[in-house]
Each structure stands twice: as structure tokens, then as C-alpha cells.
Amino acid sequence: MTETSRATIPQRYPFSAPERLDLDPRYARLRREQPLTRVQLPYGEPAWLATRHTDVRTVLGDPRFSRAASVGRDEPRNTPRQQETGILAMDPPDHTRLRRLVARAFTARRVEELRPRTRSVADELVDGMLAAGPPADLVAHLATPLPIRVICDLLGVPASDQDRFHTWSEAIVSTTSLEPGLAQHYLDNLLAYMAALVARRRVEPADDLLSAMVRARDENADRLTEEEMVILAAGLLAAGHETTVTQIPNMLYVLLTTPGAWDTLRDRPELVPTAVEELMRFIPLGATAAFPRYALEDVELGGVLVRAGEPVVVSIPSANRDEAVFPDADRLDLTRQVNPHLGFGHGVHHCIGAQLARMELQVVLETLLARTPGLRLAVPDSELTWKSGLLVRGLVAMTVAW
């Protein structure tokens, strides 16, 4: 174990502004030479940054590293405000108590029951895009409305309100895209909206997840407080569509700009499930690290002694390009069979909606491959506009033809 890194001045992090879907080459050097390094995020105390797959898995999955310990600390973060993150700031058993209440809605079996409805929505949206004619913005026609409608159906949220809560949800993923006052205003609006919807479900229950949460709360208040229910529901609504809205055009961008990739899937559509997993690995969705874990005791990690009370952040994009785990890691391989990627996280905070996101991404690719086999970018790559100031990378718009 070495103390050299601890004595050095922390590097500013993120190392550079995200450029499209490119991964900063410094990650590869760190994996080889200094897998745990000291960094300083824009706000909060210095942290360790883990870059190797094995160390990232340890930080995310080992109970010696705690999310709950971040509460009340000047945690490393990308925004001036310290946002209450609800279940994301909990450890078991509190985390387990809340997650168990909603996990049944996201099982593989329940998600498969949603697949036909999702296919129907995808076909309907593609119908509209085809009717509008090329060129068309795939983000507006398909990538944004599909995940919103699916999560609305599941939760019991009126899809007619989608424009409002989609706007407010930016507060969840914003780093600098919103000034702090506006971000808090959006967050307050989202929570107030969900509180009103909870009240409505009390008098007008339905066959949806929100009604089930209300029943659980009213039958046994020890299982779920009113505040926990509202925050959890708002988080599910925001997280249940924001990342998928972003990842759909990311995946299509990679497939349409990687020579032969779209043609491969068009000729072999049975590869779509494998391709989705590879795209989840290959695409550096996260623009920066977030949600630090605090060591509850001294832990050796990456050849360094992380002392009790020190925070660690992880780079999932770096872990997903670790050559020790993924042969030819910087190459997109749509036939990759062994793929333990961390695109949905790991450990107790593994994305509860992973199966739902997988299904949605598969349905989108299958629908477009079947109905627009000649899909292509309708503008030069250099003219595409990318989002900035968010925790995730993605396209503002994606103009396509077919």
C-alpha cells in the first residue's frame, strides 16, 4: 500500500468537459498506473477516484462503503447545492425497506408483460415520424415520448402532464445546466406535483404503482412515511425516463457512425439484446462521477489505504473500458458474449429499472430496424448539438432520414 497519492494535490475533476461520447484518455492511463487517485470535484471535500472495474465493483457493492454516511457531510459533488437524494442516500436496512415496496413492479416478468404495449407505443410514434417525413428529429418523435409514456403507464401518472414533469426532471440530472435557484424551483415543482397526485390516488385508486405505494403507506405508516413516498415516486418518475430518453439517441448515434454496425443489426436482428448490453458498456453515459461512498473503516483499494471517513467516487465509463475485463475494450463488438458491464450500476443501488430500460431499448432498436432499415443521419456529425451541464451525455436533437 502507498501513501504517495494522498500526499499529492488532488486533480481537478472531471478532467475535461465531455466531448460527444469520447472518453478522456487519462482514464486508461490511470487504470494502468494509478487506479485510485485523489481528485477535487467542483464542490465538496477531496475524494478518491476509482477507475478499474474490480475497484468500482468493490466501492458500489461492499457494505464497508456507505452512501448514507454522505448525509451531513460536505460531499464531493458537481453542483453548489446538496440535493436530498432520498433512497439514493440510504444504506440497508432503510434502503431495503423502500426498494422492496416498488421492486415487484420492475421484475423481469412484469417488464415482459409491458413489452407488447411498449411495441405498440413505438409503432405509433414511428408512424408519426414517417408521416411527418424526412428529415425528422428522432429525439422529439421517439426517444423522448416513448420512455415517458411507459413510466407514466407503470406509475399511474397522466401522460398529458409529460411536458411539465420532463422539464422539472432536469433538476435531477443538472450539474450546471440550471442555476441553483431554478434547479431548486424545478425540484420543488416536481415534488409538489407528485404530492398532489398521491392525494388524488388516495380518493381515486387505480391499478398502478403509485396507488400500491399509497396503500402500503396507509396500511402501515412504519413501512413508508408520506415524505418518503413522495420523494420515491418523484425519483422513479424522473429516473424512469431521463436516462433512457438520453440513451436511445446515444445508441443510435453510435450504431449509425460506427462503420458496419447498423448493417450488422439489420442483417442479424437477433443480436439486438446482445447489442444493447454492448452499447450500455461502450457508451460513457455519465459525464462525471457522482454519489460518493464513504469508507466506514480502513479499506485497501487499488493498492491504496482508504481511511475510514474518506469519500470515494467511481467512474463507471472507465470501469466499462477496463482491458483486464473486456478484451479489445475500446472496440464496439455487437457479438460480445461475456459482458459484465456496470452500465446499470452494481450492489444495493443497482438500477431498479434496469430490466425496464433494457426492454425499451430493445423495442426501439427492433422497431427502427424493421421499419426504417435505411436509417441514417441527415446532417453532418459536426452539426449535431450535444447537451451540456448534466450528469449524463446526450444529444439535444438527432436529425435522421431513412
Q: What is the pLDDT at residue 262?
A: 98
Instruction: Say which DSSP state 50 is in.
Output: E
Which residues does residue 49 pair with via DSSP β-bridges, in sequence order?
37, 313
Q: What is the pLDDT at residue 297?
A: 98
Q: What angle do CA 238, 242, 246 make, to 5 degrees?
A: 180
DSSP string spanning 53-67? HHHHHHHHH-TTEES
The pair phi, psi for residue 120, each rounded to 5°, is -65, -45
Q: What is the pLDDT at residue 1?
A: 52
Q: What is the pLDDT at residue 6?
A: 65
- The residue among 96, 141, 94 whose CA lies nearest residue 121 is 141
Q: What is the pLDDT at residue 257?
A: 97
Q: For residues 254 and 283, what is the distance between their CA atoms, to the nearest angstrom?
A: 8
Q: What is the pLDDT at residue 388?
A: 87
- The residue among 193, 191, 183 whose CA lies nearest residue 232 is 191
Any idea how long the chain is? 402
Q: What angle do CA 228, 76, 251 make, to 5 degrees?
A: 75
Q: What is the pLDDT at residue 193?
A: 93
Q: What is the mean pLDDT of each run of 10 residues along the chain (402 residues)?
A: 66 92 96 97 97 98 97 92 79 91 86 95 98 96 94 88 83 81 89 92 91 86 83 86 93 98 97 98 93 97 97 98 98 97 96 94 98 97 91 94 98
Per CATH, the number for 4-401 is 1.10.630.10
0.85 exceeded by pTM: yes
Other CB atoms within a 10 A radius of the CB of residue 389 amount to 15
Please report, for residues 90, 170, 206, 371, the alpha-carbon distance to residue 180 in angstroms, rounded to integers and kept in the order given.
24, 12, 36, 43
Record the cell numbers describing residue 286, joined without a space.
455519465
Burial tier of 386 (Cβ tally within 10 Å: 0-12, 13-18, 19+): middle
Domain extents in the chain = 4-401
